[in-house]
Structure 1
């Protein structure tokens, strides 16, 4: 019970006063803003509404958007990071702590801060360490981000945190850790499987590819591609669509051009983010030329139904991106 209480308190701490005192319109703007952020679109207008209302999470995402737009820490981005951090948002503190490794350092125009980067990192560490030591998986992962000590990443992964499990897999694949040669490959697969089962879409796609390359059960590989698509993951939707239409034919997906066309057409909603429209413009005509007009109409209906019954499309960017 004590750990549950501490974990709940930490959830409030690292996000700040998320959703606090927001009107329904402000909450709707925040939700829309985060959705657009995750689609690599301009979310400033929506996020600013909730940020100015005092929501720490919206303030963090607005700062992220402003920083990424300019590719360095701007005065306004830092202002919103600090507003969020001052409401105990650990993620904002970490980004402020990383600002001494920012492009603005080389440019010689970093904005003045109320604390040094080292002070922000210490503040984040002071908040996070007790909760990590109590067993909170996300706090353990943040301790890894704060200290770069692999032991925290492994503890988080062993506690079931899907993002940590994914990075354990990537680390093992890239040569990290100590394994017998035949055990390293096994460890990669095991960590990817655990992360996929934990709901992390990137791991679902990586695990499907792992099975394919390992000449494993393609039925299992197809399952994880479909699961990634069902979550709205851009890579999952594009792969499920392409493989269903046999454009190209991989993973032994049954030929279904109606489904393939429908899923590929949905990706047009990401126009403006991630250069997806280039892919759609190339792939959709290739599928359409092998379809009848009736099949295309059927595909359009399928797309409407999918959109109404599945989460919005997303690139699922990591919250602590560089």
Structure 2
């Protein structure tokens, strides 16, 4: 990975130098070699920098990164944890830290831009995209880029230059990035066909919104269902919840129960809350055998999301409805079950889209 990124950076540097008037007008190979010599010294420096940037995190830094991403996905303050891994050079942590800083101020701050650029310099698609599209960057404010600062257009060009070769080689995530970069539905369709579950979910939604061409109207609905099912089978919980709605309307309660349980096991807040409510028959809408202990346990886990997504109102209203049917012994068992579930399942998450607002 290191040498690929270094190669990309060096390629970009070569491209920029080749545009310089002195070099462009020089046909003498000896002169050109002399002018290019500093470039290769810089490339060697970049390779060293990149290798350092991709150095493995220490166990403590890795724990901080994982904890930071969990907090970010729970709409909680994640910056202190993410900063530990970001300062150690982790590109993904740098991206999430920049996201939190930008969303906190609802605009591109200088610090957020710094972390996006650090991440983008290591080849991170998502950081490049945000630098290409987020408003309030230095160039937009000044209507001209200061020397050495890339404009939004420069970042978009670099994003495409980085992602397209990988997409052409079959990288499904790169194909999805190309869709975001070019707003060309063909790339999203290719990503879905290549098996990228988030792209399959997004494609189903784009079809639902009227994008794409279908000769027969009912083929659109069939395509939506096809991709929601494929994305669900690929483990994407947002798709599972939407696929459940289709199954519910069809009266396929067995399918509804199956996919709701699977979705809840991913830690997706929407699924955990519904699964717990239906297990405890508050209300009984899909035909689960009543399980007050498991239902209470799952709803009580949502207390962890205090401060994010307005979940506490739901928890405070739902838990009393379940507990009034239970004995103290059952509540004690539910609390133990909740601890076991938390220890053996992914953290609770709202699953925010990586390129969301």
Which structure has the bigger radius of gyration? 2
Separation of aligned partners in 1, 2:217 and 2:159: 38
After superposition, where does 1:1-322 map in structure 2 within 5 Å? 20-100=55-135, 114-179=149-214, 180-215=216-251, 217-322=252-357
Contact residue 72 and residue 104 of structure 1 kept, 8 A:
no
Contact residue 116 and residue 128 of structure 2 kept, 8 A:
yes
Contact residue 73 and residue 111 of structure 1 kept, 8 A:
no
Rate the CA distance shift 1:104–1:68 in 2: closer, same or farther, 3 A: farther
- TM-score in terms of structure 2 length: 0.81
**How big is the shift at 1:279?**
1.0
- SS of equivalent residue, structure 1 residue 320: coil
Rate the CA distance shift 1:294–1:54 in 2: closer, same or farther, 3 A: same
Separation of aligned partners in 2, 1:278 and 1:194: 34
The more displaced of 287-296 and 201-210 is 287-296
Separation of aligned partners in 1, 2:248 and 2:59: 46
Separation of aligned partners in 2, 1:69 and 1:148: 27
**How big is the shift at 1:297?**
1.2
Q: For residues 273-295 of structure 1, what are the alpha-carbon distances to aligned partners after superposition, in whole Å with 9 as ceiling and x for unaligned?
A: 11111111111111111212121
- TM-score in terms of structure 1 length: 0.90
Say what the alpha-carbon RMSD is for the aligned residues.
Answer: 2.6
Separation of aligned partners in 1, 2:137 and 2:247: 40
Q: For residues 297-318 of structure 1, what are the alpha-carbon distances to aligned partners after superposition, in whole Å with 9 as ceiling and x for unaligned?
A: 1111111111111111111111
Separation of aligned partners in 1, 2:312 and 2:144: 35
Contact residue 74 and residue 110 of structure 1 kept, 8 A:
no
Rate the CA distance shift 1:131–1:267 in 2: closer, same or farther, 3 A: same
**How big is the shift at 1:181?**
2.3
- SS of equivalent residue, structure 1 residue 210: helix
Count residues in correspondence.
311
Separation of aligned partners in 2, 1:125 and 1:264: 44
Separation of aligned partners in 1, 2:328 and 2:144: 57
**Relative contact order: is structure 1 or structure 2 higher (C-alpha 8 Å, sep ≥ 6)?**
1
Query: Mind listing any 5+ residue stretches in structure 1 that lack a counterpart?
Result: none
**How big is the shift at 1:183?**
2.0
Contact residue 139 and residue 151 of structure 2 kept, 8 A:
no
**How big is the shift at 1:221?**
1.4
Rate the CA distance shift 1:272–1:107 in 2: closer, same or farther, 3 A: farther
Separation of aligned partners in 1, 2:288 and 2:139: 50
- SS of equivalent residue, structure 2 residue 134: helix
**How big is the shift at 1:106?**
9.8
Rate the CA distance shift 1:290–1:9 in 2: closer, same or farther, 3 A: farther
Separation of aligned partners in 2, 1:276 and 1:287: 17
**How big is the shift at 1:20?**
2.3
**How big is the shift at 1:35?**
1.1
Rate the CA distance shift 1:62–1:110 in 2: closer, same or farther, 3 A: farther
